[in-house]
Structure formats: C-alpha cells, structure tokens
Amino acid sequence: MEVFLIRLLQFMLAISLLVLLHEGGHFFFSKLFGVRVEKFYLFFDPWFHLFEFKPKNSDTAYGIGWLPLGGYCKIAGMIDESFDTEQMKQPMQPWEFRAKPAWQRLLIMIGGVLVNFLLALFIYSMVMFHWGDEYVAMKDITMGWKFNQTAKTIGFQDHDIILGADGKQFERYDVDVFRGIADAETVQVLRNGKQISVAMPGDLSLISMLQEQPQFCRPFIPAEIDSVMPGTPADRLALKKGDKILAINGKPVDSWNEFTHQIGILQDVMTTAKNTADSIKVRTVSLVFNRKASTQPDTAQVVLTPELLLGIGQTSIYTYYKPTKLTYSFFSSFPAGIKYGINILRGYVNDLKYVATADGAKSLGGFGAIGSLFPPVWDWMMFWRMTAFLSIILAFMNILPIPALDGGHVLFLLYEIITGRKPSENFMIKAEYVGFTILILLMIVANLNDILRWLGYM
C-alpha cells in the first residue's frame, strides 16, 4: 500500500505540474493577444468543482475540478472540449479567439505544446547539472550478452559482445540498443576476439524483443546472490551474499536471465494447480548452488513462497560493469539536456509504428501503467526524469492532427492560412465531437489493458 501511495503522489504531482504549465502556455498567448480566458482549471469539472476563485475585475475564473484527466483553459469564442455552442451563436466580439488573425490563433493553440517541450528540455538540463549522467558503456560489458532462442536462431551466441548496428557503434546500454537491433540489417558483435556481422531478418519487433521471456538479449550477469531476506526459503538454506545459483529442477542456470526464465515456467505451471497439494508440488524445487567459500556445488530441495520467490536479491549490471559518470557545469548542461531530450523524443516517435500492431495495441497503458513507471521510493532524480519524459509525451500527443487536440486545431488553422478559407463552425463542432470520441475510446482501451494486466490476462 505504501508503494502504491508513493507512486500515486509522484504521478499526481507530475501530471498537475504538466497540465498547469500546458494550459498556462495557452493562457499566456491568449492574454498576449488580448483574448479573454473565461476559465483556467486543473482537472475537469463536469457538474461541479472542488474549488473556484475569480479575482476582482478579472475575466477569468481559476479552479480545481474533481476529474483528474487533465485540465483546460476555456478561451472565449473558440470551439473546444467545453462544446459551448451557445457562445458561438452570439455576435463576434473583438476580444474573442475567432476575431483574431490566424497567426495569433495558431500561436495560442501551440502555446501548450511549446511550453511542455521546452519544459522537458529544461528539466533534463537541470538533471544533468545537478546529478550528471550515468550509464554503462557498451564497450565495458566485457562478459558479453545473454541471448534467448529467437536471437540464437538468427545467429547470436551467448557472450557475444554487441558493438553496433549497420556500421554505427552503440555508445551506451539503453533502449536505443534494442531499437538499433530491431531496425538493423546487420549487427556487429565481437566473438572470441573477432568482429562478426550477424544478418538480421528485418521483421523484428521491438515490443516482442522486450516482452519475450527471457528477453531477446541482456547483458550477461552471473546468477550471484547479492542479499538474502530473513525468514525466506533462501535464509533457511543458509544462502549468503556471493553464493551462486547453478541449476533449478535440473535446468542449468548461469545468469539471472535463466533463473527468471525458470521461475516463469513455474508460474505457468502454477496456473494449472487445483489445490494446495498441487501448489506445494510446483513450489518444491531442486536447487543446485555453489557457496562462496566452497568449490563443490550443493543440492537441496526447497519450497518457494506462494509467490514463487526464493527470497534473494539479485546482483545488478553495476556489480560487474563500472558505470561511466559525466558531470556538467550550469551552461554545459543545456546542450547535454537538449540532446538527451531530443533523443528521447526521437525514440518515442520511432516506437509509434508499433501502435497499429497487435502487440502494440496490447502494450498501450493508461494511468496505472504510467504511474507504475515512477520508482517505488521517493527519488527526486527519477521523479524529474519521469516528469520530463511525460512532458515530451504530452507535447507530442497534443500536436497530433486529431480534432479535440491542439494538433487538430493547428491543422485547421494551417488550412485557413494556406487557402484563405476558414472551416465553418458547424464543421468544427462535428470534428470536435469526432476527435473527443476517438480520445475517449483510446483512453478506455489503454486503461482496460491496465485492468487486464492487473488481473493476469495479459
């Protein structure tokens, strides 16, 4: 429950900040061009609101709604998600959105996206300045990689050291390595001291690569125990830090990839258990391990927890591969942060090609999936990185040419600027309804996926 609350607080704080600044971008340009803003709200307020305040001599009511699905800035004389058609029937006023030149209306509409994008780059820059940048360089993964059967069929071998793809070197271990492999024609690896090119099939999916168990490839990390939790099956076996797992139920284990895979097999078998006796039978495993102080392996029967846990902490990539640490001055942090943010955006845009696939549709996530991206403990660096990432997503999604989003309005404004003809108000209202329906359906699908994953159906 504590982990849930910590993640919920981080999520709500990040979303509130991003929504306020996004709507603030629309607000700023509206005021700059003399357009009246009637309402400025954090969260939506159908039927009632939690708080509202209207300063004396102000045209704007500020408030907080009860439905945390975003926020809005109600601009006078504009067809938006409020669907205020009555106002549009009145004579046009000079302080209304529709009375302004197309270029001013265009700036008002892109104001939110512009703020979110610049905010993300600023946050990344400040993260670089305060915490620096830390990563494992690909050249430092000296024990090579562990590959699943799909990768081995293509031509990879365990302990290959991945160098690059299509002649371009990989610098750091991150998701860009998997993107590069998925899109590559050839991948260069170092095998037994010789560089070899592995021909790729051309139909790899990034989503499948990451979702397969075991994954397509991971840095080789020996199955060496980092810690043992008191009162667990591992504790009862007197396992210690530094001991190594060698096999589970007769299946060799030389890395955490294999260990996770074998536990995954047990989880699949557990779904067929009909009673307690069946459950205990699945949970009872033969474990072969090597104690740090001994050269001879030990074998023991152990009953895992109902969640199929042994009760051990795993060593991480940082246990075996020294990370590269970069620090930045205040001024040098800006080009570093901008480069990092643009690379994040480029990767996100590249991954959108999977949305139309079956795996892509299943991978869509709603509020639960987004909230789970935040760390289970309050970590300010991770909080700000996640906030910047969400800011980039919010900016990009809002600029998509879908009616009801900023990008839909921008599309119609560009049409007006190019052709000199303004779409009719009746057309704009219908387009707003269509766009709003599309967004609601996408939201339903994404959050339904969260529920199905929580129930174990995905």
Q: pLDDT-based confidence at 82, cuts 50/70/90?
A: low
pLDDT digits (tens, 9 = 90+) for 259-272: 988 998 898 888 88
Burial 302-320, CB ≥16 within 10 A → b, else e: bebeeebebbbeebebeeb
Least confident piece of the model among 49-53, 228-232, 429-433: 429-433
Residue 103 clears pLDDT 80, i.e. is over it: yes
Which of 119-133, 260-274, 337-351, 386-400 holds the top average pLDDT?
119-133
Kindly give the residue spans of alpha helices, DSSP state H, lying in 98-243.
102-131, 149-154, 175-183, 206-211, 233-236
Which structure tokens are listed for 37?
């803003």
Q: Centre a 10 Å sphere on the Cβ of residue 233 and count the other Cβ atoms it contains.
A: 21
Q: How many residues make up the chain in this entry?
A: 458
Residue 195: partners with Cβ closer than 8 Å, 6 or more residues away: 163, 188, 189
Place of tokens 């009375």: 99
Mean pLDDT of 108-127: 95
Q: What percent of the chain has pLDDT over 90?
A: 48
Place of tokens 């509020």: 367
Predicted local distance difference test score (pLDDT) of residue 65: 87
Residues facing residue 135 across a β-bridge: 324
pLDDT digits (tens, 9 = 90+) for 25-75: 999 999 999 999 988 988 888 888 888 888 888 889 898 988 877 788 888
Q: Which of 194, 190, 162, 192 is nearest to 178 (CA)?
A: 162
Cβ–Cβ under 8 Å, residues 2 and 372 = no
Predicted local distance difference test score (pLDDT) of residue 31: 93
- Prior bond of 323 cis (ω within 30°): no
Q: Provide DSSP, 314-345.
A: EP-HHHHSPPEEE---TTTHHHHHHHHHHHHH
Q: Which backbone phi and psi does 45 adopt, to 5 degrees?
A: -130, 50
3-state SS, residue 200: coil
Mean pLDDT of 191-214: 88
Least confident piece of the model among 84-98, 198-212, 376-390: 84-98
Which structure tokens are listed for 289?
């391990």
Residue 358 clears pLDDT 70, i.e. is over it: no
Predicted local distance difference test score (pLDDT) of residue 203: 83
Residues facing residue 195 across a β-bridge: 190
Average pLDDT in the chain:
87
Report the distance separating Cα 261 and Cα 82, nearest Å.
50
Predicted local distance difference test score (pLDDT) of residue 261: 87
Q: Which of 12, 14, 42 is nearest to 27 (CA)?
A: 42
Biggest CA–CA distance in the chain, Å, is: 90
